[in-house]
């Protein structure tokens, strides 16, 4: 399983990329970002809870440390969902994804400060290449100054920070129980945290229409249940920095989704960005499979 771990993280990122497109469709249809985040977390919770029921042995649910770190991971998930969707609503998917994926830098710095990792030239180069690839892919440098609000900028960065919180919360919770137990607790936090925010929302906004339910369910499956199950299994065998960089295949997926589904076109610089990110991901995957001295 150790050799397949980067591939599992990449597959999870593929699901996240697709879910980002689905969320954008719902937001364009007038759905409140908090409502979308609520249902994404709720559907994800039901799926991982079913997984926990099927494999309840050695769950670690009686371990207090499992609960503490899983609750922290859940707050990270809730913040990531909500802030990311607000950033999309206040700007664009491309800008929001770019801001959120400042997370690898945050993860790297936290890992360094906490002594979890030592900075190496290879990791620094990988981070720089992937960040450059994302800039080329999303073409943020073409965004007009008024293309995103201050709220969109702030929430995009907060989404990345919350993503880092989830990474560390899960990393410390994993040794004390099963992945399905950690996810069940974490995803229970999402709807509970967001419920007070949407409780006072107009019922016409809080309650999705019949045509929106399939999209919300698909969003929950791809963007929460399935993707996070793959992710937490994969991240157990890789460092936080490597996992974050490999997961950057998400913006690549979002771009391809726009081309194939929405009929959008890619500029030459965007193609270069895709190749740059994919090549870096492949190199990191090969490096992670190499035997350690």
pLDDT reported for residue 70? 95
What per-residue confidence (pLDDT) applies to 286?
Answer: 59
- The one-digit pLDDT tens for each residue of the chain (293 residues) are 555 677 788 888 889 888 888 998 888 888 889 999 999 999 999 999 999 998 888 888 989 999 999 999 999 999 999 999 998 888 777 777 777 776 666 566 667 667 777 777 777 787 777 778 777 766 666 654 445 677 887 888 789 889 888 878 988 998 898 989 999 999 999 999 998 888 776 666 667 777 889 999 999 999 998 998 888 777 777 766 666 677 777 877 877 776 777 666 667 887 787 778 777 766 765 565 443 33
Domain map of the chain by residue range?
A: 5-289
- pTM of this prediction? 0.78
Of 251, 239, 274, whose CA–CA distance to 122 is shortest?
A: 239
């Amino acid at each position: 399983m150790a050799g397949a771990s980067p591939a599992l993280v990449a597959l999870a990122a593929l699901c996240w990329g697709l879910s980002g497109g689905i969320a954008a469709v719902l937001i364009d249809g007038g759905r409140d970002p908090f409502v979308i985040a609520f249902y994404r977390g709720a559907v994800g919770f039901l799926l991982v809870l079913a997984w926990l029921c099927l494999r309840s042995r050695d769950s670690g649910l009686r371990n207090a440390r499992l609960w503490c770190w899983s609750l922290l991971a859940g707050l990270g998930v809730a913040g990531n969902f909500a802030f990311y969707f607000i950033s999309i609503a206040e700007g664009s998917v491309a800008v929001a994804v770019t801001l959120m994926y400042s997370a690898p830098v945050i993860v790297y710095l936290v890992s360094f400060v906490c002594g979890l990792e030592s900075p190496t030239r290879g990791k620094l180069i990988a981070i720089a290449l992937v960040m450059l690839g994302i800039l080329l892919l999303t073409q943020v440098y073409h965004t007009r100054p008024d293309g995103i609000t201050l709220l969109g900028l702030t929430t995009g960065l907060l989404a990345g920070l919350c993503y880092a919180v989830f990474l560390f919360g899960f990393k410390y919770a994993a040794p004390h129980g099963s992945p399905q137990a950690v996810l069940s607790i974490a995803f229970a936090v999402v709807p509970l945290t967001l419920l007070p925010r949407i409780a006072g929302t107009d019922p016409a906004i809080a309650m999705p229409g019949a045509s929106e339910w399939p999209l919300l369910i698909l969003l929950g499956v791809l963007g929460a249940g399935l993707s996070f199950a793959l992710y937490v299994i994969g991240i157990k065998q890789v460092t936080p920095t490597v996992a974050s960089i490999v997961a950057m295949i998400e913006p690549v997926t979002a771009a391809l989704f726009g081309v194939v589904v929405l009929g959008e076109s890619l500029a030459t610089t965007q193609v270069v960005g895709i190749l740059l990110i994919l090549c870096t991901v492949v190199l990191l995957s090969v490096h992670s499979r190499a035997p350690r001295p």
